[in-house]
Chain A
């Protein structure tokens, strides 16, 4: 933990130490894209130096109808995000999250730390720690709950330390790009990383900061955005790895995902399916599935939403069989009363992975600053 914290502080220090291009006196003579000399007078502030700092937080109140489970307030994640454009082609970002563990102790994690080289829309090379490009949700939403329309990620895309079955984070190299072809835009993603290992003491998979078995995890993804339907995105991805399992035979994993996402004007909808394949060496293969479908419609500052999700994990599946299965609907409403502040109230009916179906009510206050 101390090493992670040191890394976070070092990363933040490096980022803060590098003055943005404008602060170094970039010319405003029409030879580059520096802001117009009048831009700094604008109240909007967008003409400010391009060192961007953002914070996110959330607080919840939760009530479950399971016996012996009291209603509770819950402090969510405090997210510190810094990004900077170092040159026209190079940028850096860091996302550090502070949160309480179940024992009441604060944990600090570097969730993302990336140096990006992007000579054009056709290529962005990233090195560091990133969110894997599995499907849609994991690339669209990171740790700031303010951006998520619904409180809580779908179970299949839950973070590793919250019982999620997928490798949400990765340390390695990523290449992605966007290409305009007749009638649509094409986006590709390829990633090579250290992969995961099974954390026996914690009971979940965790990204390896240093590769433990020499097998690199590989992920490829492809998405299209048709010109004819603005806001529509369709895509698929496939992730492969070989995971060590604390003294037992390693497990070959493959996660295939397909998604459809639509966001335009007042309406947004997403549907995504993930196939999870696991096979311990010398043993039979297991195939499990998880999916979610969700939609929301905005009426002014109010946005009712609905989600249905299902994650079925056979108990004898290597690694993830020990995680909870989940299925059920979520119904709720999001209210954005002012600026970057959102209030989400939702009812969830959870089945499958718990001894009996339970009903849960969540009230979340999420904000950015």
Chain B
């Protein structure tokens, strides 16, 4: 019995680790502490980062903050939130500006600058890795979950919800793709 327990402990990770994502690899969505928004759906989050949502419920302008072009954190966020690569997102933002949108995303160089920007701008929304959160900003629940919760949708290295098929199949057709993770 002892030998089996030792073997299981050695081979298999703890059950908790199996059921929840590594919180340090999750992207936390952060807003200013004065922002009344506490939760967003994945669809709302996507619309905000695609500049389709211009205002928060309190009337403040939504200001999207991204890491600099070429940084891994930016690539991760664009893929997880928008389902886009860098070139496609750049083209999309140009097109939005051309359509009359006058509030393009801002860029910052580091997680520290991201937190500082969000701290100073009440309408800002950005992201950091879960282990980079501090008390100067507030973390928003995405689809009702926080980083570290089971089913949190923004985990680095995991395909976006749309790519996994969680959107189209269960919600529209009541089906689940083989191998797709149920949220």
Contacts and interface: CB of A to CB of B under 8 A. Distances in A.
A202 interface: no
Contacts of A321: none
B177 interface: no
A52 B97 contact: yes
A39 B117 contact: yes
Contacts of B167: 228-230
B116 A36 contact: yes
A109 to B, nearest CB: 16
A265 B121 contact: no
Interface in B112-137: 113, 116-117, 119-124
Interface in A74-89: 81, 83-85, 88
Contacts of A84: 102
Contact of B98 (A38, A54, A85, A228): A54
B168 A36 contact: no
B158 to A, nearest CB: 15
- The residue among A28, A116, A121, A146 with the most chain B CB atoms within 10 A of its own CB is A121
Given A33-B122, A120-B55, A227 B61 contact: no
Contacts of B41: 227
Contacts of A1: none
Interface stretch (A4-12, A43-51, A213-221, A310-318): A43-51
Contact of B97 (A42, A83, A116, A121): A83
A226 to B, nearest CB: 8
B102 A47 contact: no
A46 B121 contact: no
B150 interface: no
A91 B32 CA distance: 25
Contacts, number: 142
A83 B104 CA distance: 12
B100 A83 contact: yes
B100 A93 contact: yes
A37 B47 CA distance: 27
A121 B54 contact: yes
B72 interface: no
Contacts of A368: 94
Given A81-B98, A91-B102, A30 B113 contact: no
A114 interface: yes
A126 B100 CA distance: 11
B107 A33 contact: no
A38 B94 contact: no
B182 interface: no
13 contacts: A28-B120, A29-B120, A38-B109, A43-B68, A44-B68, A46-B105, A47-B107, A83-B97, A142-B98, A144-B98, A231-B162, A264-B83, A265-B160
Given A46-B66, A144-B98, A230-B46, 5 more contacts: A30-B119, A37-B120, A43-B68, A85-B103, A265-B163
